[in-house]
Structure 1
Amino acid sequence: MSTINLITSYFIKHYDLSASTFSPDGRVFQVEYAMKAVENSSTAIGIRCKDGIVFGVEKLVLSKLYEDGSNKRIFNIDRHVGMAVAGLLADARSLAEVAREEASNFRSNYGHDIPLKHLSDRVAMYVHAYTLYSAVRPFGCSFILGSYDKDDGPQLYMVDPSGISYGYWGCAIGKAKQAAKTEIEKLQMKEMTCRELVKEVAKIIYIVHDEVKDKAFELELSWVGEGKNQSKLSIDRVSDSDRDVQTGTTFTELHEQI
């Protein structure tokens, strides 16, 4: 038997080892394995309201030796774009850099901020390219992109390891995504402001957190919206121990209110 036939026979029997090989029933197992990495990760949610986008992430603390606030899962992509991730953090950081480069190049070429639809499509194409070749593996993360600008208002997109990009009013990724989606559907998102929604997002993260399996976690919150002067856009980020100046409360107090 020739070498080519041996290689072909090997991949027919081991179609789950390559991202470029379909199974007999039309599945690409490497992509499904990447999605499984996301499903085993901590929960991240993004919700769109009438004046911005609010992100919330349940960052699991696997060791008491970790420094507080390390390994953030919410990233600043551009002055009007934020990103929340679930899955392999190293993969997510790589994609965050890709998104930042796309946003920077767009501003250099066209002189204005990149539209979120264009940014999500560009990064989704990059993610999809890693599902086409046997020499690479798919990215083991999903991410939520949110932005606010004066022309398009708030926008929210989610990209999964297969490279598909969808627009949402509210979405969740990670191990408790189904429970989080159920809670998100109860909200009147189109009528709420960021100040109102940030408390609801914190509550959802606490509700879906599994205290039996995952006892320790840090709550990350961020939102994208109009600045105080109605022209400057800002991304505000707080951690579980920080004081939220705009809402006048701490997230520890929010936990006690639930």
Structure 2
Amino acid sequence: MQLTAVGIRGKDGIVFGVEKLVTSKLYEAGANKRIFNIDRHIGLAVAGLLADSRQIVEVAREEASNYRFNYGTAIPLKHLTDRVSGYIHAHTLYSSVRPFGVSCILGSYDDEGPVMYMIDPSGVSWMRDMPITDLVKEVAKIIYIVHDEVKDKNFELELSWVGETEKFAKEALEESDDSDEEEL
């Protein structure tokens, strides 16, 4: 089963999008998440085997928690990426364990702005100067473009973002208040 995960970095945040195929009528909407919160400022999107991704998420959360406990501050994304990629790489070195069948996109938003890394030998493209509201639309568009309705089943689009969410939420709330007042 082929899944698509997209991460785009803009000037004020990062947006994650994941295509989850609906392979059964018994599928429960919202189950089997593929976008995870690692720490207060770090998100992770995965494509690949779900069981493997859960293991990677657990390792990332443990590394972030240990760093916060030991140093009293949030873990920098570069440090977390190095630790998690080292763990993934170690599973390619020994015959007693199998390699992980998952690619991860990690994103963070802190005082230095948005940062994104991908743990996989393939590449990643990013757009630097787009606002987060445009990034959400762009990620959704990419997922719908790569989904082939003839071959693939129905799918569920899962979106998440890391960025200036408070500002984004306030603007959305103000827009909804303005439209409500106009309707009255």
Q: Give the TM interval when normalised to the shorter protein.
A: 0.7 to 0.9
Match of 1:242 in 2: none
Aligned-residue offset at 1:246: 6.4
Q: Distance in 2 between matches of 1:215 and 1:44?
A: 17
The structure whose Rg is larger is: 1
Q: 1:213 aligns with which of 145, 151, 174?
A: 151
Residues 151-170 of structure 1 correspond to what in structure 2 (within 5 A)?
A: 152-160=112-120, 170=126
Q: Distance in 2 between matches of 1:219 and 1:194?
A: 18
Aligned-residue offset at 1:229: 6.3
TM-score for the superposition, normalised by structure 1: 0.63
Question: What secondary structure sits across from 2:156 in the alignment?
Answer: strand
Question: What secondary structure sits across from 1:63 in the alignment?
Answer: coil
Match of 2:2 in 1: 41
Letter in 2 for 1:53: I
In the alignment, is the contact (CA less than 8 A) between 1:144 and 1:157 conserved in 2? yes
Counting matched residue pairs gives 174
Aligned-residue offset at 1:215: 2.7
In the alignment, is the contact (CA less than 8 A) between 1:57 and 1:73 conserved in 2? yes
TM-score for the superposition, normalised by structure 2: 0.87
Q: Distance in 2 between matches of 1:247 and 1:195?
A: 15
Q: Which stretches in structure 2 are left out of the alignment for 5+ residues?
A: 177-184
Residues 93-242 of structure 1 correspond to what in structure 2 (within 5 A)?
A: 93-150=54-111, 152-160=112-120, 170=126, 189-228=127-166
46 and 85 in structure 1: CA distance in 2 versus 1, 3 angstrom threshold: same
Is 1:53–2:19 an aligned residue pair? no
Aligned-residue offset at 1:190: 2.3
Q: Which stretches in structure 1 are left out of the alignment for 5+ residues?
A: 1-39, 171-188, 235-244, 250-258
Question: What secondary structure sits across from 1:191 in the alignment?
Answer: coil
* Identity percentage of aligned residues: 70
Letter in 2 for 1:60: L
Please list the CA deviations of residues 41-88 of structure 1 after superposition, one character each: whole Å capped at 9, or x if unmatched: 210000000011000101111111011110011011111000000110
In the alignment, is the contact (CA less than 8 A) between 1:54 and 1:224 conserved in 2? yes
Aligned-residue offset at 1:247: 10
Letter in 2 for 1:128: H
Higher relative contact order (CA 8 A, sep 6+): 2
Q: Distance in 2 between matches of 1:49 and 1:246?
A: 22
